Amino acid sequence: MGRNETGGVRTQKVIAVLAVLVVALATGAAVLSTPDADAANVTIKGDTNVVKVKGTLYYDLIFYETEEFSTLEISYSADLKDSSGKVQSSAVTPSSGALSNGVGLKIVVTAPSEPGRYTLTANFTETIDDGSPTSTVRSVTVTVVNPITLSTTIKNTGSVSLTDFVVYFKVDGKLIDESKTLVSVEAGAESTVTYEWVTEGVSSGKHDYAIVAGDENIGEYKDLIIGSNSSFWVGHSDYGGVTIAMFLLLIVLLLIAVYVYRKPVKNYGKPKARR
C-alpha cells in the first residue's frame, strides 16, 4: 500500500506540474498574440541605408497613435552620430518639428565626408489630451562608403546616331540593376560611360566588370563597340608597379654593396718606429 500511495502522490505531482506548464504556455501564447492596444506605431522608413560620402538619404518619419484621444501633440528631434557618439553638424534636415498623426514627414540626411557606420536617431514626444508627455526613440544604422567608380568607352562605328541606348554594368558577372544608364553616341563617335557604384560588403581583392546592352533596346546595333573588361581592387591596390620599383631598388643596392666590397683598400704602410 505504501508503494501505491507514493506512486499516486508522485502521479498527482506530475499532473500538477504539467497543468502549470500548460497554463503558462497558454498564458504566454495569449500574451504574444494579444496586441498592445495603447502602443503607437513609430517607424523610420527609407529606401536604403547605404550612401556615398557627402551623399544624401531620404527618410520618412511616421508616428501613428492608435489610442483614442481628444487632442494629440507630436514632435520629434533627430540627429546623426558617428561610432563614438559625436553628433554630425547639420546632417539632418529638418532636425526637429511637429508631426501629424499617421502622416509621414520626409527628412534629408547628408552623409559625412568620412566613410563609416553612423546612427540616425529620432526622438518622438507625444502628449495625449492633458496627460504627461511621453517619449519614444527609434534609430537606424547608416553606412557611408567611398563609391567604386566603374568606367568604360562605347564607340559607334556606324552611320546612324544612337539616342538613349540602355546599358548596364556587370561586376564579376552579376548585373547591377541600379547602374542603368542611357547613352547617346553620334555616328562615328565614342562616349565614356561612368557609374559610381555605392555598395558595401564587397570582398577584398580583384574584381572584373564590363558594360552590356540592356534588353530594353529595340533592334540590333552591330556597329556599336563596347569597351573590353576592366578591373578594380578592394582592400589593396595592384602592386605590379610597386613590385617592379622595389626590385630595381634592390638591384641598385646590390651593385653598391658589390662595389664597396671589391673596392681596393689603400695600404699606407707600416707605422714608423719610435725613435
Least confident among 35-49, 53-67, 117-131: 35-49
- Do the first three CATH levels of 41-145 and 148-234 match, i.e. the same topology? yes
Phi, psi dihedrals of residue 102, rounded to the nearest 5°: 80, 0
Q: Look at residue 254 and tell me whether its pLDDT is greater than 90.
A: no
Q: What is the pLDDT of residue 36?
A: 37
**Residue pair 205/234 in contact by the 8 Å Cβ criterion:** yes
Query: CB-based burial of residue 70 (10 Å sphere; 0-12 exposed, 13-18 middle, 19+ buried)?
Result: exposed
Q: Look at residue 121 and tell me whether its pLDDT is greater than 50.
A: yes
Q: What is the pLDDT of residue 269?
A: 57
CATH number of 41-145: 2.60.40.10
3-state helix, strand, coil in the chain (%, to 5): 20, 45, 35
The amino acid that residue 201 corresponds to is: G
Alpha carbon of 48 to those of 51, 116, 199: distances in Å? 8, 15, 11
Q: Look at residue 274 and tell me whether its pLDDT is greater than 50.
A: yes
Distance CA 105, CA 61 (A): 5
Which residue(s) pair with 194 in the sheet? Answer: 151
Which CATH number, 3.40.50.2300, 3.40.50.800, 3.90.1150.10, 2.60.40.10, labels domain 148-234?
2.60.40.10
56-93 pLDDT, tens digit per residue, is 999 999 999 999 999 999 999 999 999 999 999 999 99
Report the pLDDT averaged over residues 106-119: 97
Which residue(s) pair with 143 in the sheet? Answer: 50, 117
Q: How confident is the model at residue 255 (pLDDT cuts 50, 70, 90)?
A: confident
Q: What is the pLDDT of residue 246?
A: 66
Q: What is the pLDDT of residue 268?
A: 56
Looking at every residue in the chain, the average pLDDT score rounds to 81
Q: For the chain, which residues make up each domain, given as ranges? A: 41-145, 148-234
Q: Look at residue 18 and tell me whether its pLDDT is greater than 70.
A: no
Prior bond to 94 cis, omega within 30?
yes
Least confident among 30-34, 77-81, 136-140, 144-148: 30-34
Distance CA 155, CA 211 (A): 12
